[in-house]
Amino acid sequence: MNETSGSAPLMADPQPSRTFAEASPVVAGYFTVSFVFGLMAVNAGLPLWLPVAMCLFVYAGASQFAALALISSGASLTTIVLTTFLINARHMLMSVYMAKALRALGLSRMERWCYAGGLTDESFAFHSVKLGNGAPVNVRYLIGFNLFCHTSWVLGGLLGALCAQYAAHLIKYQLDYALTAMMLYVLVSLCNTRKKLIAALAAVLCMGALSLVGTSPFNVFIATFVGCGVGVCLTRRS
């Protein structure tokens, strides 16, 4: 048994197989979505290495697909950068929360950078719930979870790009449902209490109503704040 610094609970270093098992739903979803991205990028005329590089360094599904659409339409670099910033601005909120939640683990600066580089919507959802429930975690589990997810994202993009380049005639499947299916799985798996279910439904209903009014990157922010507000109110009332 190893004891982490601060007030973190005791925990034996998790086996990679256990970490992978917990990450496997996200890994499967990421691989499928990035595979589609690799296919679309090469089919749009981009060189094979570019979607792989984007999966490695950008690592943001919605931003990558948005950037691909903007690149294909000949948009300026400024437009692409600003669009990516707006789509990913929510990560600032997630990072602030996780920085406070992980403080008890006593992560070094390098470990914090490594974790931040792999933080996504899905890893945030899994890890914030674990920490909120007081489940014992350590830095090896957190970074290992993120590493498995990021590796599957890069490999999916690479395989998709290769298939589009050399085996396009063999690809006949419609895989654009993968991102939605993965997000639904994560949402359902986390709604294990009545309060969480009500908060999630509030966010979903708000997002649906905003989508009927118009499409905007800020819809996600507004729906998230509504869901969080409902969750906070329910927690205080109890």
pLDDT, tens digit, 9 for 90 and up, residues 210-221:
888 887 767 777
Question: Which pTM was predicted?
Answer: 0.69
177-197 tens-digit pLDDT:
555 665 666 567 667 678 888
pLDDT at 174: 55
The strand pairing partners of 2, in sequence order, are 11
* pLDDT greater than 60 at residue 2: no
Q: What is the mean pLDDT of the chain?
A: 81
Other beta carbons less than 10 A from residue 5's beta carbon: 10
What share of the chain in percent tops pLDDT 90? 21
200-212 tens-digit pLDDT:
899 889 988 988 8
Residue 60, phi-psi category: left (phi > 0), alpha (psi -120 to 50), beta (remainder):
beta
CA geometry: angle 150, 180, 141, nearest 5 deg: 30
Kindly list the domain boundaries of the chain, sorted by start residue. Answer: 16-178, 191-238
- Show Cβ contacts of residue 179 under 8 Å, excluding neighbours closer than 6 positions: 29, 33, 61
Residue length of the chain: 238
- The four Cα atoms 29, 33, 34, 35 give a dihedral, to 10 degrees, of 100
Closest by CA to 226, choosing from 50, 97, 209, is: 209
What share of the chain in percent tops pLDDT 70? 84
